[in-house]
Structure 1
Amino acid sequence: MTRDPGRPSSPLLLGPLAVLVAFALAVVLWPQTVMGTSLGDFLLVSLVLGGGAAWLTGKAVARAWGPLFHLALYCVLLAAAVRFCHFALFGDELFAPVTSVAEVLFLAAVAALGFRSVRKRQMSVQYGWMFVPAGPLSWRRQDSADADGLKAP
């Protein structure tokens, strides 16, 4: 069996979803350790601004057909910027190890999902003769019957 990164059970899709679920669980179980100073600061800076920037970063790397390690590097830099915003605006710790790791993981997961959304569109539009969409963030190889127009995608 060949490697199929577009399948719905791909680790490139399930991994970020699992990280987001674990992050949400960690926020519920250990809010002060993961979030830092306050819920409002965390929601504004980490989730809205950082998450939005991570989503757009993932989309930009995918549009440029960049590899995933570029995305990882950008997420580390983005997490440093988000930590600095928490420090400069709200007096949170700059180098809190647990919070910083949680920030990097959260931003990387959101960026990976943004990457995946664009990659699904690229694969199904630019290679429409070979791939068809198979869900919101996945694609599949087109069957020969699909290529002949006998089956709906």
Structure 2
Amino acid sequence: MDRSADPGRPSSPMLWGPLVALAVLAVSLFVRPDLLIGRSAADFIIVTVVLGGGAAWLTGKAVARSWEPYSYLVVYGLLLAAAVRFCHFALFEDTLFALKQTVPEFALLFSIATLGFRAMRRRQMTRQYGWLYEPSGRMSWKASAGTER
């Protein structure tokens, strides 16, 4: 069996890519907080992390639940980043077109959406195709012991 073609493996780029992006963003939050935080840390946490992150998680799950392609998350991630930037602008008088803050916000929201997508896809694969796959962690799956692929 070719493991590189198995999207459910724990070493899939769809799983470690967002985790690496989130780690880089967390480090940059301490090194260069001005890249992520606009006016204050409180509005960043409330609007970007809580509201935007929650919406991104649910968006990733919704795309996976409807069996839409993963590429749809790029479009939805851009729309979410624009909505979060508008909320910062409208509620906290931050800059609307701040590319310096929009790009990291997009990376953050897209990473969270990808993890939501992955969590739902694991659930789908192990529940709907239980005779073929079994869970292999929180966001990965593997072929069942008795199946040959």
Contact 2:35 2:104 in 1 (8 A): no
Which structure 2 segments of 5+ residues have no match?
none
Residue 22 in structure 1 maps to residue 24 in structure 2: yes
The Cα of 1:18 is off from its aligned counterpart by: 0.5
The Cα of 1:89 is off from its aligned counterpart by: 0.4
Kindly report which structure 2 residues correspond to 1:57-96, keeping only aligned pairs within 5 A, or say none. Answer: 57-96=59-98
Q: Which residue of 1 aligns with 2:136?
A: 134
Distance 1:67 1:7 in 2: 18
Secondary structure, in 3 states, of the residue corresponding to 2:6?
A: coil
Q: Which residue of 2 aligns with 1:150?
A: none
The Cα of 1:102 is off from its aligned counterpart by: 0.3
Q: Which residue of 2 aligns with 1:32?
A: 34
Distance 2:70 2:27 in 1: 26
Deviations 1:76-122 (A, max 9, x none): 00100000000010011111112100011000000000000000000
Q: CA RMSD in A?
A: 0.9
Distance 2:100 2:127 in 1: 41
Secondary structure, in 3 states, of the residue corresponding to 1:135?
A: coil
Distance 1:133 1:23 in 2: 29
Aligned residues: 145
Residue 100 in structure 1 maps to residue 99 in structure 2: no
Q: Which residue of 2 aligns with 1:111?
A: 113
Identical-residue share of aligned pairs (%):
54
Distance 2:134 2:35 in 1: 43
Deviations 1:2-36 (A, max 9, x none): 51110111101000100100111111111122211
Q: Which residue of 1 aligns with 2:123?
A: 121
Larger radius of gyration: 1
Distance 2:16 2:27 in 1: 16
Which structure 1 segments of 5+ residues have no match?
148-153
Secondary structure, in 3 states, of the residue corresponding to 1:132?
A: strand
Q: Pick one of 9, 22, 25 that aligns with 1:7.
A: 9
